[in-house]
Amino acid sequence: MYFGKKSNLLSALYKLPSLKDKRFHYSFGNILVRYLVFAGFVSTIMWLLINNSEFYRDIHNHFVIYGILISGTYIILYNYYKINYKKYQLS
């Protein structure tokens, strides 16, 4: 992701592109696909465990699922920007 000048990786969190910019649609379109795949994977595993495991059915908690989804999206976002930042530093 190009910010106009060299800056640190944390600047990706507060220098988000504007909604009118094509760069916004490019970057968040790529990230949204990864979020959806991750959420589909987590929900599939959750429902398989609910339907096939008595132990998981007793300990299932929606806060844990939300925590997994939110922490997973932060990890995906961090890795995406980290890879793009390394590409930016090499160019």
Residue 17 falls within a domain, yes or no? no
Q: What is the pLDDT of residue 88?
A: 83
Residue 1 falls within a domain, yes or no? no
Contact predicate 53/4, CB 8 Å: no
Q: Give how many domains the chain has, as a whole number.
A: 1
Residue 48 falls within a domain, yes or no? yes
Token pair belonging to 35:
């979020």
Residue 60 is part of which domain span?
23-90
Contact predicate 34/83, CB 8 Å: no
Residue 16 falls within a domain, yes or no? no
Model pLDDT for residues 50-85, shown as the tens digit of each residue: 999 998 888 889 899 999 999 999 999 899 888 888
Confidence of residue 7 (pLDDT cuts 50, 70, 90): low
- What residue type is assigned to position 39 of the chain? A
Average pLDDT over residues 2-19: 62
Q: What is the pLDDT of residue 81?
A: 85
Contact predicate 62/69, CB 8 Å: no
Token pair belonging to 13:
């969190």
Residue 9 falls within a domain, yes or no? no
Residue 8 falls within a domain, yes or no? no
CA pair distance 12, 23, nearest whole angstrom:
13
